[in-house]
Amino acid sequence: MLVNSFKRGINLPTRKHATEGKPVEQVPHPQQVVIPINQHFGAPNQSLVTVGEKVVRGHKIADALTPGPMTVPVHASISGTVTKIEPRTQSNNTEGLCVVIEAEGPADREEFFPPLDPFSCTKEDALARIREAGIVGMGGAGFPAHVKLSPPPGKHIDLIIANGAECEPYLTIDEAAMTAKSHLLIQGLAVVMKITGVSRAVIGVEDNKKSLIPLIERELRLEEFAGDISIGLCRTRYPQGGEKMLITALTGREVPSGGLPMDADCIVQNVGTLVAIAEAFYLGKPLIDRDLTVSGGACKTPKNIRAPIGACLKDMPVEFMDIDHARLAKILFGGPMMGTAVASLETPIQKNTSGIILMTREETIAQEEGPCIRCGRCIRNCPCSLSPVIMNNSLDAADLDYAVKAGLLDCIECGSCTYICPARIKLVQRFRVGKQRLRIRQQQSAAATAAVAAAKKS
């Protein structure tokens, strides 16, 4: 089978051995969950429950006041009583309103939607089911799945890509999903193909997961609807799982600067998202559980787990999750390249938490920054063909406009430049701050324009 790839990028130690090939283990029923009411990219939600109210696993507990396209509801992940609704620190380190539920009654009490046949319902009903089930992209920023499946009229899409590349070190949860739930993955792909009217799909995997191929091929033969679904093998190279990189590797197409996958005629969905879509139709199940990898040198029991959304590592029994607190130096939500460091084991698991990495000091060793030696390595390895050194110099000189000209907004924050830089310059961290400054400047300029317009009216 041909092995495809994209240009540039880096080779990383994969560090997946601790959980590779391990099945997904169900977390013991937690006594409490802390569920952030906003876990998606889009308009904010409001709580639909009050303190003291009884909820059942599967009940909707938050939604937008006016449910619009960029909104996604949130559901109770355990049955019990709402004991608090208050701001808590979330996995992106911001404070956000959370619903705290204390468990009560039998652990298996749940109320889901009735199953829905995606092949006989209308497209509108199918998209509404995906929204109502609270499904967001499970590999990234929590973009609403139903929005991705509704490209603007006139937009040509000819390929659905299932993203199973999982290029971040340590993480093995997509591999576990493709192993144990390949039938649901294919059913989810078939649903997406039906909704979008696209007749071809590719499951993209890196060539360090070749063992999955016979398994997926067998499932494709078994499924009644297999359509034109194939497997695309990609070279194990970081960041192969980036949407733009995967599209280039599998099709040879380039997503234009500032563009989206649909500008290359593709829709990309993470394999976990496709499994969640299949479950929403065939089981009527909303997105209330999250499969994730827990690993790292300070984790004595590295494993792939299934946890109710809102569960915290701190509450898991030691015989299930044994943490070496003496050696724990850093807690990462997500992988070590693109994940976020959090302060506490009380941080709740969210819809987009693909892994929690418990790192020791040796794994996180931070070296002092030195001066740039103009080696050009960051430019040669950037998968988006940007000039990180120039972007960094522009930001140092407070010249945001020049940083944008050099590609700041096209940066996918993969961290390859930081990893490869011999001077240990924290390039990607600066780009994140630069983008934040740009957002603040845009908000200030919009507010100033609105104030001038208001003054003219009065």
In whole angstroms, how close is the CB of 338 to ligand SF4 at the nearest point? 9
Tokens in use for 233? 């093998």
Residues 6+ apart with CB under 8 A from 328: 298, 358, 359, 360
> Looking at beta carbons only, is 433 or 450 nearer to ligand SF4?
433
Stretch that binds ligand SF4, among 119-127, 165-173, 272-280, 376-384 (CB under 6 A): 376-384
In whole angstroms, how close is the CB of 381 to ligand SF4 at the nearest point? 6
> Looking at beta carbons only, is 261 or 415 nearer to ligand SF4?
415
In whole angstroms, how close is the CB of 387 to ligand SF4 at the nearest point? 8
Footprint on residues 162-201 left by ligand SF4 (CB under 6 A): none
Footprint on residues 407-436 left by ligand SF4 (CB under 6 A): 411-417, 421-423, 425, 427-428, 431
Backbone angles phi, psi at 267, to 5 degrees: -120, 130
> Looking at beta carbons only, is 18 or 420 nearer to ligand SF4?
420
> Looking at beta carbons only, is 256 or 317 nearer to ligand SF4?
256
In whole angstroms, how close is the CB of 246 to ligand SF4 at the nearest point? 14
In whole angstroms, how close is the CB of 417 to ligand SF4 at the nearest point? 3
In whole angstroms, how close is the CB of 355 to ligand SF4 at the nearest point? 20
In whole angstroms, how close is the CB of 171 to ligand SF4 at the nearest point? 18
Tokens in use for 43? 């308009």
Under rule CB under 6 A, residue 374 binds ligand SF4: yes
> Looking at beta carbons only, is 256 or 422 nearer to ligand SF4?
422
Tokens in use for 305? 């787990």
Cα–Cα distance for residue pair 452/446, rounded to 1 Å: 10
What is residue 298's DSSP assignment?
T
Choosing from 351, 377, 430, 435, the residue that interacts with ligand SF4 (CB under 6 A) is 377
Number of neighbours of residue 121 by Cβ within 10 angstroms = 16
Number of residues written out for the chain? 458
Place of tokens 């199940």: 285
Footprint on residues 132-151 left by ligand SF4 (CB under 6 A): none
In whole angstroms, how close is the CB of 392 to ligand SF4 at the nearest point? 6
Nearest to 112 by CA among 57, 72, 61: 57
Tokens in use for 367? 């070296």
Under rule CB under 6 A, residue 118 binds ligand SF4: no
> Looking at beta carbons only, is 35 or 428 nearer to ligand SF4?
428
Q: Is there a contact between 95 and 56 (Cβ–Cβ < 8 Å)?
A: no
Q: Is there a contact between 266 and 260 (Cβ–Cβ < 8 Å)?
A: no
Q: Name the β-bridge partners of 289.
A: 308
Q: Are strands 355-359 and 289-295 parallel, antiparallel or unpaired?
A: parallel
Stretch that binds ligand SF4, among 22-30, 59-67, 101-109, 371-379 (CB under 6 A): 371-379
In whole angstroms, how close is the CB of 59 to ligand SF4 at the nearest point? 40
Under rule CB under 6 A, residue 255 binds ligand SF4: no
Cα–Cα distance for residue pair 68/73, rounded to 1 Å: 11
Footprint on residues 339-368 left by ligand SF4 (CB under 6 A): none
Q: How many CA atoms lie within 13 A of 358 on its CB side?
A: 24
Instruction: Say what angle helices 173-180 and 212-222 make with each other, to 10 degrees.
Output: 40
Task: Order the strands of the 54-55 sheet from edge to edge.
Answer: 32-36, 95-103, 80-89, 54-55
Rg (CA), the chain: 22
Task: Compute how many residues bind ligand SF4; rule: CB under 6 A.
Answer: 27
> Looking at beta carbons only, is 281 or 431 nearer to ligand SF4?
431
Instruction: Say what angle helices 123-132 and 271-282 make with each other, to 10 degrees.
Output: 110
> Looking at beta carbons only, is 87 or 422 nearer to ligand SF4?
422
In whole angstroms, how close is the CB of 242 to ligand SF4 at the nearest point? 8
Helix or strand holding residue 174 (H, E):
helix 173-180
Residues that bind ligand SF4 (CB under 6 A): 372-378, 382-384, 386, 388-389, 411-417, 421-423, 425, 427-428, 431
